[in-house]
Amino acid sequence: MHTQFNSLNKSTRESRKAAHEICRLFNKSPSKGNLKRITGLFANSGSGVIIEAGFHCDYGSQIQIGDRTFININCTVLDAPINEGAISIGDDCLIGPNVQLLAVSHAINPTERLNKENFAAPITIGNNVWIGAGVIVLAGVSIGDNAVVGAGSIVTKDVAANTVVAGNPAIKLKDI
C-alpha cells in the first residue's frame, strides 16, 4: 500500500533543500563532523555507523540505521517526510556502492501523474543483510535478516530471511 504526499509544497521543498545541503557538505568533506550532521537528520542512527562519501537522502527524518552498519560510496536514499516513506536498516548491514533505496515513486496513470504527487511505502532491511553493489530496492520492500542481495539486482518484492536473491527482478537463488 502506497501513501500519497506532496513533495512540491513549500515545507517539503525547504526540508529537502536543507537535507540536500547537509549531504552536499558531507560529500565535499566526509569528516566526522559532517557525518554527525547527516546522522543528525535521521530518526535514529546506531553506534559505529560508517557512511562513505556520495551519500544522498531527500529528508532523513524517517531513516533509521542500526549499530555497526556500513554504507559504501554513492548511496541514494529517496525517503519521504511521512511514516510510509520510512527506511529502516538493521544492525551489522553492508550496503554496497551505488545502492539505491527508493521508498518514493510516482503514479503509473498519466492523468494522476500530472498532479505531481508522490507515493511512498516503507523499506525495511533486517539485521546482518548484505546488499551488493548497484542494487535498487523499491518502495514497500522488506529484506529479512541475514539475506544477501546480489550485485546489480532490482528488488521489487520482499526477500525472506536467510536467502540469497539476485537478478532483475531479484529472485531467490538459494537458502543460506
Of the candidates 11, 95, 104, 100, the one whose C-alpha atom is nearest the C-alpha of residue 62 is 104
Q: What are the Cα distances from residue 64, in Å, to 29, 111, 122, 152?
A: 23, 34, 11, 24
Total residues found in the chain within this entry: 176
Packing angle, helices 10-28 and 32-41, rounded to 10:
160
What are the Cα distances from residue 27, in Å, to 7, 23, 63, 97?
A: 24, 6, 18, 14
Tell me the C-alpha to C-alpha distance, in Å, between residue 37 and each of 17, 34, 141, 142: 14, 5, 28, 27
Positions marked catalytic: 106
Cβ 162 vs Cβ 145: under 8 Å: yes
